[in-house]
Homo-oligomer: A and B are copies of this chain.
């Protein structure tokens, strides 16, 4: 009694499949996301669901993309007037913490779970996950560089080192929250990130008073290390 829907209805169905798929995959993994289970959750037949994607792998890729869209929307910090460089870096970290704290994905960070599940495999799903995680880390690195150029992080700071450590604090938070169910870890993550990003001028008030306040978007490095 429900065959051949219109294309707008089909689009809604597809969106519903992806929304549910992201939820299920964040908890059970992208491999644990089975077509039959997902179809049953949504009151569809398996072939009805599969018709939207063609194969399980295509479904997984669509779910990864939908999760990325959600993640970047929830952690967006570029539309709220936050200056590039250290302020944006702090805001990105805080947005990440917030998104696991609010359980935007019911299983914690979607990409932490997907990365761990696929990091030892090959193929399009692994590539998609690695690429999207790389985008996030590249953005962090950009703002570390700007922070150094602004003098908000010490000259000579290695951006890759800072990103490595910030990502570590995020992974540690997801780990403590999900495995140990320890909400106190949220405080520790914020503290770790704050101390890693502590401004060198915070303890040098004379220098701080002389440094220009950054409000514009002009961020050409004047003296990179």
User: With A and B bound together, what is the CA distance between A67 and B178 in angstroms?
Assistant: 21
Chain-B contact segment, one of A8-16, A74-82, A112-120, A209-217: A112-120
With a cutoff of 8 Å between Cβ atoms, the chain B residues found around residue A161 in the complex are 188, 191-192
A166-204 toward B: CB 8 Å interface, digit per residue (1/0)?
011111110110111000110011011000000000000
> Are B134 and A108 interface neighbours, CB within 8 A?
no
Given contacts A108-B119, A119-B178, contact A185 B172 (CB under 8 A): no
A27 contacts the other chain (CB 8 A): yes
The answer for the CA separation of A175 and B120 in the assembled complex, in Å, is 11
Task: Kindly provide the distance from the CB of A134 to the nearest chain B CB, expressed in whole angstroms.
Answer: 7
Q: Which residues of chain A (114-151) have a CB below 8 Å from chain B?
A: 115-117, 119-120, 129-130, 133-134
Q: Does any Cβ of B come within 8 Å of A41's Cβ?
A: no
Pair A188/B175 contact, Cβ less than 8 Å = no
Chain B CB within 8 A of A57 CB:
no
In the assembled complex, which residues on chain B have CB atoms less than 8 Å from the CB atom of A32?
A: 31
Which residues of the other chain, B, contact A117 by a CB distance below 8 angstroms?
A: 29, 116-117
Q: Could you tell me which A residues sit within 8 Å of B by CB distance?
A: 26-29, 31-32, 106-108, 112-113, 115-117, 119-120, 129-130, 133-134, 160-161, 164-165, 167-173, 175-176, 178-180, 184-185, 188-189, 191-192
18 intermolecular pairs with C-beta atoms under 8 Å apart: A26-B120, A27-B120, A29-B31, A31-B31, A106-B120, A116-B116, A119-B179, A130-B180, A134-B180, A164-B172, A164-B189, A164-B192, A165-B169, A165-B172, A165-B192, A168-B170, A168-B192, A171-B171
